[in-house]
Amino acid sequence: MNSDPQPPEQPTKKKPKGLAALLAALGGLAVKFKAFLVFFFHVPMLLGSFSFLATLWLYGLTFGWRFGIILALVLLAHELGHVLAYRTYGLVVGAPVFLPFIGALTPGSKPANEEDGAYIALAGPLAGMGLAAAALSIGLATHDPFWMLAANISALLNLFNMAPVLPLDGGRIIQAVWPPIVLLALPIFLVVAFLARLPLLPIAVIALFSVFWLAGSWRTTLASTADHLGRSARIRIGLAYAGTLLGLLFIEARIHLPAIVGMHR
């Protein structure tokens, strides 16, 4: 028997969860210089990775260095958003892997629940939206086409990524709200992609992945993924998804507003 007097229990502070935790981490980065240093300490490793350098080189040769550099950096910013989200939830995360002409992915350990997983998926488009908004602000202030192009690329790529189809981030987010949307959205996504004349290789990879996932999860994951979440969690995820989508659409509309106004004069 331990006879030492026990210290009085200290009241424990409730830690923010879900989207609040992610937003708190993003806000902390904005005000803490030390956190900025810790975060950007990993950037040289990413910039030095073979996959990123290979992607940058191939995009530069294919699309021209001006467009290629912007495209590669937009992808990097998106994946760094996922890296930050994984670290916010205390999960192990690896360096992003870039796949030229297809996209990129960030390997990480499995989240504790579907809501955290949805916010980790959402962190990429959120980072892309932040980059697009920053580039748009600089472009409007300087009237430099370079920054308007950067804003346009970041907004468009992240809008594409928000499509509710696996393995895109939008599919992973919506999967936590109502999994059958993934099944309903696949044919619509393919038709829109074909009409928009999007590159066939990434579309084929996305379609193939979605078909395999749907076939393997028809009786299990598709029917039960969202059952683990309460209604309030689904509403939070849905609102976060809708807000990010509307933010990206607003940036796109603001980019093209001068051209639209000029057409009607």
β-bridge mates for residue 97, sequence order: 105
Residue 178: inside a domain, yes or no? yes
For the chain, the straight-line distance linking the first and the last C-alpha, in angstroms and rounded, comes to 88
Res 42: pLDDT: 54
Confirm whether 167 is domain-assigned.
yes
2 occurs within a structural domain: no
- The pLDDT assigned to 216 comes to 63
Output the pLDDT for position 184.
77
Range of the domain at 40: 18-23+33-263
The pLDDT of residue 37 is: 45
> Element (H or E) spanning 224, and its range?
helix 221-224
pLDDT of residue 30: 47
Give residue 18's pLDDT.
55
Answer whether residue 194 is part of any domain. Answer: yes
Domain count, the chain: 1
DSSP one-letter string for 133-194: HHHHHHHHHH--HHHHHHHHHHHHHHHHHTSS-TTSHHHHHHHHH-THHHHHHHHHHHHHHH
* Structural domain includes residue 6: no
Low-confidence ranges of the chain (pLDDT < 70): 1-48, 196, 214-228, 258-265
Residue 64 covered by a domain: yes
What pLDDT is attached to residue 210? 76
Output the pLDDT for position 45: 56
Query: Of 103, 125, 231, which Cα lies nearest the Cα of 178?
Result: 231
CB atoms within 10 A of CB 124: 29
